[in-house]
């Protein structure tokens, strides 16, 4: 369980602070990830909140995002729900997305390594044949948001290449928190928004506890080349005993993958330097029985460059009886340098708000990627927080007061809590090789697949 102390001052790294009088701001946002940029774009887009003076502080270089080299795909590619896409349209960033680099999909299919029959499919007939979602690079989303902020003539709000090094309570009459930056500047802000990710300094400053656990698993990601472009309307996931492997569509014959696997397997995947071995392993993981896959993994654990594994797996795949219920893509390549891995964890803050503080995105919650919901939850946080601030302004209230911020917490926390719980249980049930659990989940998948009204309800809840 992660516990945070309750400091009134959070100091992060070495302080090189000038003794400056802090500049007063209505809103300071810490973090220029998708959540932070979304909240700034949304505040500046709304006629009710556009007048608020805002600063967004980001430790990284936002010009790298503005000038992102679009020749290859980046490896952080996520699934966007229709709700998130509508929100991006509402705040005006959608038109700045490079749609040629995105792929909409109409079908979600998941199958279990335990049997060909353990299969569940979701199609878009329940949502009037609208796309069920779209795959999009995180950098494409960030770039579109920065373009929207620039278009609204608010580039001055962006303070990048600068870290928040300390957050202090005020000792003066104005009780607003003071945010001290690595360049020596300081802001004193009516409302401090933590969009600063999993290790959120703002959450620590506010003394808000975050509970959860690390999964002893990593999500290995990368960009693939498929043998055909006929799979680009399908989001496919196979449940293996070490965790799920998802193949998610990109335009034409490209795809991205997320292979969530226990640390032991993930470290074997990481140690493979030869992309041809990796491709052979992905094709095997999509089709073969677990024993065949484990045999290859054991060989690679001894020698990650053992190319004999390629021929061996090919031979086994030729013997494999195709799953007639499901068309499984053939992977022919991996984009050089695109493989990376991220530790997986679940965490949820006890509250998203405190006096003059609001948390959004991964600062408030971190979720297993198997349902592709993390960033979408962050987008919903932003929509709800901005609506709460708008209402506060309509009523003439102080936007930093908990009276204004509480409705945001009340609206988002229960849904996020339920989703975190569901994904956590799914992870535990599916990343498991205990025989009775395999039997129950295999039966459960087949049973669920026949329950069209329940599947339709799930699709409507998650996609619309």
Binding site for ligand FAD (CB under 6 A): 12, 30-36, 57-60, 78-79, 138, 163-164, 195-197, 201, 219, 221, 258, 342, 361-362, 369, 372-376, 378
Give me the torsion for CA of 28, 30, 33, 35, rounded to 10°: -60
**Burial track 417-452 (b if 16+ CB lie within 10 A, e otherwise):** eebbeebbebbeebbbeeeeebeebbeebeeebeee
Q: Which is nearer to ligand FAD, 130 or 311 (CB)?
A: 130
Distance separating alpha carbons of residues 121 and 250, to the nearest angstrom? 20
Nearest approach in angstroms of CB 340 to ligand FAD is 9
Cβ-contact 346, 368 below 8 angstroms: yes
Nearest approach in angstroms of CB 276 to ligand FAD is 23
Q: Which is nearer to ligand FAD, 119 or 145 (CB)?
A: 145
Nearest approach in angstroms of CB 58 to ligand FAD is 5
Nearest approach in angstroms of CB 47 to ligand FAD is 25
Distance separating alpha carbons of residues 66 and 82, to the nearest angstrom? 25
Q: Which is nearer to ligand FAD, 260 or 442 (CB)?
A: 260
Nearest approach in angstroms of CB 280 to ligand FAD is 22
What does DSSP say about strands 23-30 and 186-194: parallel, antiparallel, or unpaired? parallel
Q: Which is nearer to ligand FAD, 57 or 288 (CB)?
A: 57
Cβ-contact 137, 76 below 8 angstroms: yes
Which spans in 15-155 are helix H?
Answer: 34-45, 62-66, 82-90, 138-151
Nearest approach in angstroms of CB 145 to ligand FAD is 10
Q: Which is nearer to ligand FAD, 38 or 241 (CB)?
A: 38
DSSP secondary structure, 305-339, as one string: T-THHHHHHHHHHHHS---TT--PPPEEEE-TT--
Q: Which is nearer to ligand FAD, 286 or 375 (CB)?
A: 375
């Amino acid at each position: 369980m992660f516990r945070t102390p309750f400091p009134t001052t959070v100091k992060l790294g070495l302080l090189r602070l000038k003794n400056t009088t802090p500049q007063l701001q209505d809103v300071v946002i810490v973090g220029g990830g998708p959540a932070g940029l979304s909240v700034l774009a949304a505040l500046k887009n709304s006629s009710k909140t556009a007048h608020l003076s805002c600063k967004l502080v980001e430790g990284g270089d936002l010009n790298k995002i503005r000038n992102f080299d679009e020749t290859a795909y980046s490896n952080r590619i996520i699934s966007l729900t229709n709700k998130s896409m509508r929100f991006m349209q509402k705040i005006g960033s959608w038109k700045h997305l490079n749609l040629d680099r995105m792929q909409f999909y109409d079908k979600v299919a998941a199958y279990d390594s335990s049997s060909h029959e353990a299969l569940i499919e979701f199609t878009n007939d329940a949502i009037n044949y609208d796309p069920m979602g779209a795959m999009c690079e995180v950098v494409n989303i960030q770039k579109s948001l920065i373009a929207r902020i620039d278009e609204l003539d608010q580039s001055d709000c962006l303070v990048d290449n600068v870290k928040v090094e300390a957050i202090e309570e005020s000792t003066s009459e104005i009780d607003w928190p003071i945010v001290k930056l690595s360049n020596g500047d300081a802001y004193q802000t009516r409302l401090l928004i933590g969009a600063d990710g999993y290790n959120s300094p703002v959450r620590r400053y506010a003394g808000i506890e975050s509970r959860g656990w690390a999964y002893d698993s990593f999500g290995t990601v990368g960009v693939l080349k498929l043998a055909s472009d006929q799979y680009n309307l399908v989001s496919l996931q196979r449940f293996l005993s070490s965790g799920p492997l998802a193949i998610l569509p990109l335009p034409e014959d490209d795809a991205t993958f997320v292979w969530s696997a226990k640390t032991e397997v993930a470290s074997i995947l990481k140690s493979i330097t030869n992309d041809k071995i990796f491709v052979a392993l992905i094709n095997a993981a999509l089709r073969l029985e677990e024993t065949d896959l484990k045999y290859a993994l054991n060989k690679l654990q001894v020698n990650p460059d053992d190319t004999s594994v390629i021929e061996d797996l090919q031979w086994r795949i030729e013997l494999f009886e195709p799953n007639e219920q499901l068309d499984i893509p053939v992977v022919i390549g991996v984009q050089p340098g695109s493989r990376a891995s991220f530790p997986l964890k679940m965490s949820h803050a006890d509250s998203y708000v405190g006096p003059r503080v609001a948390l959004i995105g991964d600062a408030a919650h971190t979720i297993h990627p198997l349902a592709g919901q993390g960033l979408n939850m962050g987008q919903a946080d932003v929509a709800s927080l901005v609506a709460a601030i708008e209402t506060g302004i309509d009523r003439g209230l102080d936007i930093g007061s908990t009276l204004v911020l509480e409705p945001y917490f009340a609206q988002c926390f229960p849904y996020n809590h339920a989703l975190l719980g569901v994904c956590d249980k799914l992870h535990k049930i599916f990343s498991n090789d205990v025989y009775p659990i395999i039997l129950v989940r295999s039966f459960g998948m087949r049973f669920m697949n026949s329950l069209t009204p329940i599947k339709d309800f799930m699709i409507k809840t998650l996609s619309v």
